[in-house]
Amino acid sequence: MTSQTLRDARRYEEAMAQNITDQERPEFHLSPRVGWMNDPNGFSYYKDKFHLYYQYYPYDSQWGPMHWGHVVSDDLLHWEYLPSAIAPDMPYDYVGCFSGSAIELPDGKQLFMYTGVRKEAQPDGGVRDIQTQCLATGDGMDYEKDPRNPILTVEDMPENSSPFDFRDPKMWKCEDGSYRCVTVNDRADGTGGRILLYRSEDGYNWKFESVMLSNDGNFGKMWECPDFFSLDGKDVVLVSPQDMLPKDFEYHNGDGTLCLIGKFDETTKTFIPESDQAVDYGIDFYAMQTVEAPDGRRIMIGWMQNWDTCSNNRIPKGKWFGQMSIPRELSIKDGRLIQKPVREIENLRTDKVEYKNVTFENDLKLDGVSGRCVDLELTLRPGNTEDIYKKFAVRFAQNEQYHTAVSFRPYESVLKIDRKFSGSRRAIIHQRRSKVNSRNGEIKLRLILDRYSAEIFVNDGEHVLTATIYTDIEADGISFFADGKVEMDVTRYELKK
């Protein structure tokens, strides 16, 4: 039975979406149908299509009571908007239907588990948000919330657990037909996030198994949006820590991303990390979620935004806010998470322009190398091996007034993205740096540019730096700069849906 709250949201988004033209949106990155978007939810393959749900407030381009928006795709690049899937319409979730996941049940139904949020008076006289886990089942279009909701509460957590920070369930099906779920939770004293593991035989009745992994203050404070999967012979935990402190070039201040590679111990039901790294080293990437595609690929998508900048990055306020990253194929190589744009993006390539062995210093422009929806591949080598260049930069979304730049200093082996000249009028984060692998000034860069974003893949996916930009769309120049002599191969494609 569809609630009035959900019917209202569906009518509103259907009417207001007609006021947003394709030219006002990214070309191939997903944006909300209307209003506000944040975390990806329920990333799944169901009824022969990829389904993606997302944290959604249709009524404004700022955060509000969370609904679940809904899109489907055959190729992860062409997305069809469907009506909102769920809305905050029950006593246990009226503050919002927060993040969660989706699986297919044996009867063919799709099952959601999501975090329901309500307010509750506290003994000290204050009012706090209480977070619990809830279920809904449906057919890929309409969903019915479980009458037993909430199905996981503070009673289902270990001792010393906070009822205020218990969220973001990620489910998966095991080989024996049972189900597992991880959620994040803070200790009652607020000393750090941890990942809780639950088990179910049918997807509906869940029991606590273990504290799978504790933060213990190593990576920020509270964790959000956990994911857990096996990949290339290893087990992987992805999570988004809040309030990070920097660690050399590996992590940045604020809300960040974390990948832990290691092994899950079946006896103790705990995860044993062997290595750690950031998932994205740029400015705008958070709350990633993965799906296993029918062909076995592990594919990840993330919210292409930063909580510290999202309220004031786009001025004047637009008809929509928030984008998802390009979906990325994951692998592990030499103990490191590797990310590459989904191979389907190659089907969008047109108008190839190629240059080989271009040697230059100072400023350079190349005929046919421009655009705001571009796949740009660069291979750099020193033009003089006896005197390696000091700096290389590529500038894009450029005209006489604006540009965003990616620069590389080989002696430091540091890559930087810088959007301070992109048109922003606010003192937000404009630069991020990453320590990358380079030998004698050699490096490979792949820039995926859309109208309002840039994703830079380094050395075939060893590092990725992501940033949103809201530069005037007419600024479409691309140029190069070298302090010293650089030899460069360039391949540029236009990207069109």
Identify the pLDDT of residue 191.
81
Mean pLDDT, the chain cut into blocks of 10 residues (497 residues total) = 95 97 95 97 98 98 96 98 98 98 98 97 92 98 98 94 95 96 93 93 98 93 97 98 93 95 97 97 97 98 92 67 97 97 98 98 97 98 95 98 98 97 90 95 98 97 96 96 98 96
pLDDT tens for each residue of 354-381: 999 999 999 999 999 999 999 999 999 9
Per DSSP, the three-state class of 129 is strand
> Side-chain half-sphere of 407: how many Cα atoms within 13 Å?
18
Identify the helix (H) or strand (E) that includes residue 10: helix 4-16
For residue 178 the two structure tokens come to: 């049972």
Catalytic residues: 39
Phi then psi for residue 393, to 5 deg, are -145, 145
- Cα–Cα distance measured from residue 145 to residue 259, given in angstroms and rounded to the nearest whole number: 32
Identify the pLDDT of residue 261.
98
Q: Which residue, among 427, 254, 269, 279, has the nearest Cα to 339 in the 3D structure?
A: 279
For residues 59 and 83, is the Cβ–Cβ distance under 8 A?
Answer: no
Identify the pLDDT of residue 190.
83
Q: Which residue, among 199, 195, 222, 194, has the nearest Cα to 209 in the 3D structure?
A: 199
Identify the pLDDT of residue 312.
55
The residue extents of the domains of the chain are 4-344, 348-495
For residues 319 and 15, is the Cβ–Cβ distance under 8 A?
Answer: no
CATH superfamily of domain region 4-344 = Glycosyl hydrolase domain; family 43 (2.115.10.20)
* pTM metric for this prediction: 0.96
- Cα–Cα distance measured from residue 263 to residue 198, given in angstroms and rounded to the nearest whole number: 18
Question: Counting beta carbons within 10 angstroms of the beta carbon of residue 194, is it exposed (0 to 12), middle (13 to 18) or buried (19 or more)?
Answer: buried
For residue 273 the two structure tokens come to: 């990390």
Question: Counting beta carbons within 10 angstroms of the beta carbon of residue 126, is it exposed (0 to 12), middle (13 to 18) or buried (19 or more)?
Answer: exposed
pLDDT tens for each residue of 297-315: 999 999 999 998 876 556 4
CATH code of the domain occupying 348-495: 2.60.120.560
